[in-house]
Amino acid sequence: MRTSWTFLKWAVLASSVWLTGCGSIATLGKLEDGAGAEASRMWDRWVDGGGDIAVATTWERKVQPGVTANDIEQALRSVATERNMKEVGILPLSKELEARTGQKQKLLTVYSFCTPTTARRMVDFSPHMAAYLPCRVTVVEKEDGLWLYTLNMDMMVKMGRKLPSPLKEEARAVRDTIWEMMERASKGEI
Protein backbone atom coordinates (compact mmCIF):
# COMPACT_ATOMS: atom_id res chain seq x y z
CA MET A 1 0.00 0.00 0.00
CA ARG A 2 2.84 2.43 0.84
CA THR A 3 4.33 1.92 -2.65
CA SER A 4 1.08 2.92 -4.36
CA TRP A 5 0.84 6.01 -2.11
CA THR A 6 4.42 6.93 -2.99
CA PHE A 7 3.60 6.63 -6.67
CA LEU A 8 0.40 8.62 -6.22
CA LYS A 9 2.04 11.48 -4.36
CA TRP A 10 4.83 11.76 -6.94
CA ALA A 11 2.23 11.64 -9.71
CA VAL A 12 0.31 14.46 -8.00
CA LEU A 13 3.52 16.46 -7.57
CA ALA A 14 4.52 15.93 -11.20
CA SER A 15 1.01 16.88 -12.36
CA SER A 16 1.07 20.00 -10.20
CA VAL A 17 4.40 21.09 -11.62
CA TRP A 18 3.24 20.40 -15.17
CA LEU A 19 -0.10 22.18 -14.70
CA THR A 20 1.29 25.24 -12.95
CA GLY A 21 4.32 25.54 -15.17
CA CYS A 22 7.21 27.90 -14.71
CA GLY A 23 6.03 29.38 -11.41
CA SER A 24 6.31 26.00 -9.71
CA ILE A 25 9.67 25.27 -11.27
CA ALA A 26 11.01 28.67 -10.21
CA THR A 27 9.70 28.17 -6.67
CA LEU A 28 11.23 24.71 -6.37
CA GLY A 29 14.63 26.27 -6.97
CA LYS A 30 14.19 28.59 -3.96
CA LEU A 31 13.43 25.85 -1.43
CA GLU A 32 15.68 24.41 1.24
CA ASP A 33 17.52 21.21 0.43
CA GLY A 34 15.36 18.30 1.57
CA ALA A 35 12.08 20.20 1.15
CA GLY A 36 10.66 17.46 -1.07
CA ALA A 37 11.50 14.73 1.44
CA GLU A 38 9.86 16.71 4.25
CA ALA A 39 6.78 17.33 2.08
CA SER A 40 6.66 13.59 1.40
CA ARG A 41 6.76 12.78 5.14
CA MET A 42 3.97 15.27 5.75
CA TRP A 43 1.93 13.78 2.93
CA ASP A 44 2.34 10.32 4.47
CA ARG A 45 1.22 11.59 7.89
CA TRP A 46 -1.73 13.35 6.27
CA VAL A 47 -2.80 10.12 4.56
CA ASP A 48 -2.18 8.03 7.70
CA GLY A 49 -4.21 10.59 9.69
CA GLY A 50 -7.20 10.18 7.40
CA GLY A 51 -6.82 13.66 5.93
CA ASP A 52 -6.38 15.46 9.27
CA ILE A 53 -4.02 18.34 8.43
CA ALA A 54 -3.14 18.77 12.12
CA VAL A 55 -1.68 15.25 12.14
CA ALA A 56 0.50 16.15 9.15
CA THR A 57 1.80 19.40 10.63
CA THR A 58 2.54 18.44 14.24
CA TRP A 59 4.83 16.32 16.38
CA GLU A 60 3.48 14.28 19.26
CA ARG A 61 4.96 12.28 22.12
CA LYS A 62 3.19 9.95 24.51
CA VAL A 63 4.22 10.77 28.07
CA GLN A 64 5.70 7.80 29.88
CA PRO A 65 3.63 6.29 32.71
CA GLY A 66 4.38 7.84 36.08
CA VAL A 67 5.42 11.21 34.63
CA THR A 68 3.19 13.91 36.11
CA ALA A 69 2.01 17.23 34.69
CA ASN A 70 4.37 18.93 37.15
CA ASP A 71 7.29 16.79 35.87
CA ILE A 72 6.44 17.86 32.32
CA GLU A 73 6.30 21.53 33.27
CA GLN A 74 9.65 21.33 35.08
CA ALA A 75 11.29 19.56 32.12
CA LEU A 76 9.99 22.16 29.68
CA ARG A 77 11.29 24.98 31.86
CA SER A 78 14.62 23.26 32.35
CA VAL A 79 15.24 22.90 28.60
CA ALA A 80 14.10 26.47 27.99
CA THR A 81 16.56 27.76 30.59
CA GLU A 82 19.42 25.63 29.26
CA ARG A 83 18.78 26.77 25.68
CA ASN A 84 18.11 30.43 26.49
CA MET A 85 14.50 30.34 25.33
CA LYS A 86 12.03 32.54 27.17
CA GLU A 87 8.83 31.14 28.68
CA VAL A 88 6.20 33.66 27.62
CA GLY A 89 2.99 32.16 28.92
CA ILE A 90 0.96 29.29 30.24
CA LEU A 91 -2.66 28.79 29.27
CA PRO A 92 -4.29 26.34 31.73
CA LEU A 93 -7.38 25.64 29.62
CA SER A 94 -8.65 22.72 31.71
CA LYS A 95 -8.50 24.83 34.89
CA GLU A 96 -10.40 27.62 33.13
CA LEU A 97 -13.06 25.16 31.95
CA GLU A 98 -13.36 23.74 35.48
CA ALA A 99 -13.86 27.28 36.83
CA ARG A 100 -16.56 27.96 34.24
CA THR A 101 -18.43 24.66 34.52
CA GLY A 102 -17.71 23.50 38.06
CA GLN A 103 -16.84 20.09 36.61
CA LYS A 104 -13.52 18.27 36.57
CA GLN A 105 -11.84 18.40 33.14
CA LYS A 106 -9.13 16.35 31.45
CA LEU A 107 -5.80 18.16 31.55
CA LEU A 108 -5.24 20.63 28.71
CA THR A 109 -2.41 23.14 29.18
CA VAL A 110 -0.56 25.19 26.57
CA TYR A 111 3.02 26.32 27.30
CA SER A 112 4.45 29.11 25.16
CA PHE A 113 8.13 29.83 24.54
CA CYS A 114 10.03 32.31 22.39
CA THR A 115 13.47 33.45 21.37
CA PRO A 116 12.62 37.10 20.66
CA THR A 117 15.53 37.95 18.32
CA THR A 118 14.90 34.86 16.20
CA ALA A 119 11.15 35.58 16.15
CA ARG A 120 11.80 39.12 14.91
CA ARG A 121 14.18 37.95 12.20
CA MET A 122 11.78 35.22 11.09
CA VAL A 123 8.88 37.68 10.81
CA ASP A 124 11.12 40.12 8.92
CA PHE A 125 11.92 37.24 6.53
CA SER A 126 8.24 36.26 6.18
CA PRO A 127 5.52 38.26 7.95
CA HIS A 128 3.22 35.21 7.73
CA MET A 129 5.51 33.43 10.19
CA ALA A 130 4.00 35.68 12.87
CA ALA A 131 1.02 33.29 12.88
CA TYR A 132 3.32 30.56 14.23
CA LEU A 133 4.55 32.64 17.18
CA PRO A 134 5.24 31.84 19.93
CA CYS A 135 6.41 28.22 19.95
CA ARG A 136 3.92 26.11 21.89
CA VAL A 137 3.94 22.73 23.58
CA THR A 138 0.52 21.48 24.65
CA VAL A 139 -0.15 18.81 27.26
CA VAL A 140 -3.31 16.83 26.48
CA GLU A 141 -4.86 14.22 28.73
CA LYS A 142 -6.45 11.42 26.72
CA GLU A 143 -7.97 8.09 27.74
CA ASP A 144 -4.56 6.40 27.48
CA GLY A 145 -2.64 9.04 29.46
CA LEU A 146 -0.83 12.31 28.83
CA TRP A 147 0.40 13.39 25.40
CA LEU A 148 2.51 16.32 24.17
CA TYR A 149 1.83 18.15 20.91
CA THR A 150 3.71 20.88 19.07
CA LEU A 151 4.06 22.26 15.59
CA ASN A 152 6.33 20.26 13.29
CA MET A 153 9.30 22.60 13.35
CA ASP A 154 10.89 20.80 10.39
CA MET A 155 8.35 22.57 8.18
CA MET A 156 9.90 25.90 9.18
CA VAL A 157 13.50 24.78 8.82
CA LYS A 158 13.38 22.30 5.94
CA MET A 159 10.35 23.03 3.77
CA GLY A 160 10.25 26.70 2.97
CA ARG A 161 12.34 29.21 1.11
CA LYS A 162 16.03 29.08 1.88
CA LEU A 163 16.71 30.93 5.10
CA PRO A 164 19.71 33.27 5.10
CA SER A 165 22.46 32.97 7.71
CA PRO A 166 22.37 33.56 10.63
CA LEU A 167 18.56 33.08 10.60
CA LYS A 168 18.93 29.53 9.32
CA GLU A 169 21.16 28.53 12.23
CA GLU A 170 18.92 30.34 14.73
CA ALA A 171 15.80 28.63 13.37
CA ARG A 172 17.57 25.27 13.58
CA ALA A 173 18.44 26.00 17.24
CA VAL A 174 14.77 26.79 18.02
CA ARG A 175 13.71 23.59 16.25
CA ASP A 176 16.25 21.55 18.22
CA THR A 177 15.11 23.15 21.49
CA ILE A 178 11.46 22.28 20.88
CA TRP A 179 12.47 18.73 19.88
CA GLU A 180 14.46 18.37 23.12
CA MET A 181 11.53 19.76 25.13
CA MET A 182 9.25 17.11 23.67
CA GLU A 183 11.74 14.31 24.28
CA ARG A 184 12.67 15.24 27.84
CA ALA A 185 9.19 16.27 28.96
CA SER A 186 7.73 12.99 27.71
CA LYS A 187 10.18 11.19 30.03
CA GLY A 188 10.01 13.70 32.88
CA GLU A 189 13.74 14.38 32.54
CA ILE A 190 14.62 17.57 34.36
Please give the model's pTM, rounded to 2 decimal places. Answer: 0.84
Three-state SS across 132-181? HCCEEEEEEEECCEEEEEEECHHHHHHHCECCCCCHHHHHHHHHHHHHHH
d(CA 102, CA 97): 8
What is the helix, strand, coil percentage profile of the chain, to 5? 60, 20, 25
- 155: how many CB neighbours lie within 10 A of its CB? 19
Region of 66 please: left (phi>0), alpha (psi -120 to 50) or beta: left
**Chunked mean pLDDT (size 10), the chain, 190 residues:** 60 58 62 79 91 94 98 98 97 97 98 97 95 96 98 86 93 97 97
Which residue type is seen at 138? T
d(CA 177, CA 182): 9
Distances in whole angstroms, Cα of residue 104 to Cα of each of 98, 107, 121, 161: 6, 9, 42, 45
Res 26: pLDDT: 64
Can you say how many angstroms the Cα of residue 153 is from the centroid of all Cα atoms in its chain? 4
Res 22: pLDDT: 58
Res 28: pLDDT: 62
Domains and CATH numbers, the chain: 57-187 (3.30.310.70)
